[in-house]
Chain A
Amino acid sequence: MHKKFLALIMPFIIPALLLIFWQYAAYQAQNVAVLPPVGRVLENFLHATDNFIGLGSIPRNIGVSLIRVLSGYTAGVLIAVPLGVLMGYSKTIQRLFETFISIFKPIPPLAWQPLALAIFGVSSIATVFNMPFGQQYVFWGNFKIAMIFMIGMGSFFPVIASVMFGVQNVRQTLIDSARVLGASEKDIFFKILIPAAAPNIINGLRMGLAIGWACLVGAEMLPGSLAGVGYLITHAYELARTDLVITGMICIGVVGALLDSIFRVIGNRYFSWESKTR
């Protein structure tokens, strides 16, 4: 019982210490623009549905950010997964794309910002789909192509790397076994390589989403944004509302952790064989 209780509170010890330290530092600083007390941030969360600095409620900002990240992520994944599988499967395709990918991979997504802006300007989902002006237009106008591009870039590389690694490292014995059972090349591809690589593919999807989400603030610094957690942080900074900056940071952290745990649950549920097989 005692042990169980200890195990239960264990994860909260460090955050609690951090809060105490923060409160103490805020007290010492005596300047809410430098470091507001814990209570100020807590209050923001208690009034999460209020309209903050003209940007709307916290859930709304999170929602806008989520749609942004998920659309960029989806775009990145839709290209990265098939390409990664093909690169893992065929040496020729791998050679074709290898250099290209290794040159682009080290470029941080944030470095794409000026170019993304120059190429895509302020075009958004609303302008791409030629929506009529109105409430819908204003909402979808939030999702700039340049942002989606940056987030997609962030997600793309970890996904393609894991997928390729996963397909390349499928045990040869599994492929050979399938061949002597009469598998066609298509069977090998869809019934052996893909399921065998699935744990690595899921792992790549997980890393990709984490990085895509982490690109949020950078992407939302682009002009033309009216909402989003990243934009909330930038805008609050300009107004010296440090309490809101911290509120936004906590939101990014918590949502990011939740997204990650979805993948962890999927991984544990469907791919538990992976950690148990040599």
Chain B
Amino acid sequence: MKVTISVEHLSKVFQSQNDLEIHALHDLNLSVAENEFVCILGPSGCGKSTLLRIIAGLEKASSGSVFYNGREHTRPGKEIGMVFQSYSLMPWLNVLDNIALGLEFARIPKAERIAVAQEYLDMIGMSDFGKAFPHELSGGMQQRVAIARALANDPDVLLMDEPFGALDAYTRILMQKELLRIWEKHRKTILFVTHSVDEAVYLADRIILMSSHPGRIKEEFVVTIPRVRERSNPRYGELTAELLSLLEEG
């Protein structure tokens, strides 16, 4: 099994305003296999978003390192894509131009990148929305476009920072289904941060449960329930219950 992302002895200390040191992450080790779907689950403030931002190269670690395909990864690049919680689309660009943005940075000619963008637009079932602007779309549609934008850039790894956190419960379930469908088709390595136990159990091959102060890994669960997972499956319920009680312990 090929290791795509490996995090070694990672710590992150923030200096707060009154000179207190906040240990967001403490000596964290994690490795993610190629094409694996890993969910990082934890309460707010456990440093899971910080972890993702450090892996993306958007933030520096205080100590420890992140390796991507065996090489140290310190600055953001197109191999490791990221989807944010919300409002990450460029409001002055229409949907097609947003999806094509990564290709524009790669200096791919206009006609070619729009063709690719249209392909991904079709994939997310929004074929007719190419000329629409982000503010004209619902939150769910905006997130679908954000996912399409990340995928159109053909990254190796996709980091997702609570991408469905701002959506209503129903849209959220639809989006989870859609994400699995896309993942099964494109086979990316996905690292997905969430604080929803249900979301983690529904999506992940493996769940990393984090606890806070300082942020560290509390426990790991390999989820073997076959997909598409039914929420009525007793194993689904058991795992959910176990995770919830662990979260309650803190």
Q: Mark A residues whose CB is within 8 Å of B.
A: 171, 173-174, 176-184, 187, 191-192, 195-196, 198, 271, 273-274, 276-278
A180-B56, A182-B102, A273-B133 known; A173-B88 Cβ under 8 A: yes
- Asked if A182 contacts B153 (CB within 8 A), the reply is yes
- Asked if B78 contacts A182 (CB within 8 A), the reply is yes
Partner of B105 from A184, A195, A196, A278 at Cβ < 8 Å: A184
- Asked if A181 contacts B134 (CB within 8 A), the reply is no
Query: Could you say which residues of chain B place their CB within 8 Å of the CB of A174?
Result: 88, 90
A-B contact pairs, 28 of them (CB 8 A): A173-B84, A173-B87, A174-B90, A176-B53, A176-B82, A176-B88, A177-B88, A177-B149, A178-B101, A179-B57, A179-B58, A180-B76, A180-B78, A180-B80, A180-B150, A181-B149, A181-B150, A182-B78, A182-B105, A182-B106, A196-B91, A196-B92, A198-B92, A273-B91, A273-B92, A273-B134, A276-B91, A277-B91
Measured in the bound complex, the distance between the Cα atoms of B103 and A187 in whole Å is 12
Measured in the bound complex, the distance between the Cα atoms of B213 and A39 in whole Å is 79
- Asked if A181 contacts B91 (CB within 8 A), the reply is no
Interface of A: prevailing SS: helix
Chain B, residues 139-157, CB within 8 Å of chain A (1/0): the string is: 0000000100110010000
- Asked if A278 contacts B87 (CB within 8 A), the reply is yes
Measured in the bound complex, the distance between the Cα atoms of B134 and A126 in whole Å is 51
Residue in chain A with minimal CB distance to B90: A174
Kindly provide the distance from the CB of A132 to the nearest chain B CB, expressed in whole angstroms.
49
**In the complex, how many residues of chain B place their beta carbon closer than 8 angstroms to a beta carbon of chain A?**
30
B81 within 8 A of A: yes
Measured in the bound complex, the distance between the Cα atoms of B91 and A198 in whole Å is 11
Residue in chain A with minimal CB distance to B53: A176
- Asked if B58 contacts A176 (CB within 8 A), the reply is yes
Partner of A276 from B56, B78, B88, B135 at Cβ < 8 Å: B135
- Asked if B90 contacts A179 (CB within 8 A), the reply is no
B77 within 8 A of A: yes
